[in-house]
Homo-oligomer: A and B are copies of this chain.
Amino acid sequence: MAHRIAVIAGDGIGTEVMPEGIRALEATAKRFNIDLEFTTFEFGSCDYYLEHGKMLPDDWFEQLKGFDALFYGAVGWPEKVPDHISLWGSLLQFRRQFDQYINLRPCKLMPGIKSPLAGRAPGDIDFYVVRENTEGEYSSIGGKMFEGTEREIVIQETVMSRTGVDRVLKYAFDLAQTRPRKKLTSATKSNGISITMPYWDERVAEMAKQYPEIAVDKFHIDILTANFVLHPDWFDVVVGSNLFGDILSDLGPACTGTIGIAPSANINPEGKFPSLFEPVHGSAPDIAGKGIANPIGQIWSGAMMLEHLGHKEAADAMVEAIEAVLGEGDSQVLTRDVGGQGTTVSLGNAIAERI
């Protein structure tokens, strides 16, 4: 049976890297005999907003809910639409309405990619950040009082539910279970944030009882960010709240030099709703239209999508192809950001061929 994929290229370089993502997926599908069916949507972009006054049509949920996955490019173009409108009107809608409560990002040193950290080589850093993706610090509850006066105050609530915390922890522990090192690190700040964070710690301790084989540790978020830089080799699976996960899943790829090419998955593990796969990078209006954007983030996201759909071997082949092409370092093929003079298409082609 075919896997039905909804394709939303979005804005800027999203529209340029998406065809390369699809090209790589089609090459993989052919090699591994997987049936993929792509359906393209125009909504979820700032141009759509300019025409329709909204980021998504009213029936987007109905239109998309039957798909097996959403393959997203990049959204946002601040000169056309303010970010809080374009992002809350699209990406954050998908995450919430499709209950994609896991945000997953690999942090991995890749051959040929310059890491900003001294003395680290491919193989040294290879971990996942698992982020809670629906609650926590990203509540919209709160407000302002004494507005416009010297006494003005604003309040915003952080909300954690047992359901919300336990399910992300379970996912992270299960993931750690599949990894050779079987290690899980929890991000906390229970020494300063005295109500929600001790609760998070409590739930981690509780869940850990069910996974005696997993080595569990925790760090306060301040020293944890420091340790990402000082000891990135310590980590295997790192789990954090919505905000802490957000921070760590940018910092991690920054430490491996892959922030421009890293992928990200927004997952509804039960498969009740489609999950969403997107590169970490944004729409990059400054280089849009030039054909020089690096398509690896999109292709690597495609690999995460295949893995989610049950094709781990095929996904691994895609990542290996990316690593092989990066490792060869052919400057005619590679895009500028990774030291070459090639184009989005030349790099996309090389990876598809390698697959």
- Chain A interface residues toward B at CB < 8 A: 83-84, 87-88, 114-119, 137-138, 140-144, 149-163, 189-196, 199, 221-223, 225-227, 229-230, 242-243, 246-247, 249-251, 253-255, 259
Q: How far is the CB of A230 from chain B (nearest CB, A)?
A: 5
Given contacts A116-B117, A195-B143, A250-B225, contact A157 B154 (CB under 8 A): no
Main secondary structure of the interface of A (DSSP, over half): mixed
A196 and B159 form a contact (CB under 8 A): no
Q: How far is the CB of A255 from chain B (nearest CB, A)?
A: 6
List chain B residues, Cβ under 8 A from A88.
194
Distance in angstroms between the alpha carbons of A243 and B154 in the assembled complex: 16
A195 and B153 form a contact (CB under 8 A): no
Distance in angstroms between the alpha carbons of A99 and B115 in the assembled complex: 41
Given contacts A155-B157, A223-B250, A225-B225, contact A189 B118 (CB under 8 A): no
Q: How far is the CB of A109 from chain B (nearest CB, A)?
A: 13
List chain B residues, Cβ under 8 A from A84.
190-191, 194
Given contacts A87-B191, A195-B156, contact A225 B254 (CB under 8 A): yes
B162 and A243 form a contact (CB under 8 A): no
Distance in angstroms between the alpha carbons of A246 and B190 in the assembled complex: 13
Q: Which 7 A-B pairs have the closest CB atoms?
A: A226-B254, A222-B250, A152-B162, A156-B195, A118-B118, A142-B195, A225-B251
B194 and A140 form a contact (CB under 8 A): yes
B137 and A193 form a contact (CB under 8 A): yes
List chain B residues, Cβ under 8 A from A225.
225, 247, 250-251, 254
A243 and B193 form a contact (CB under 8 A): yes
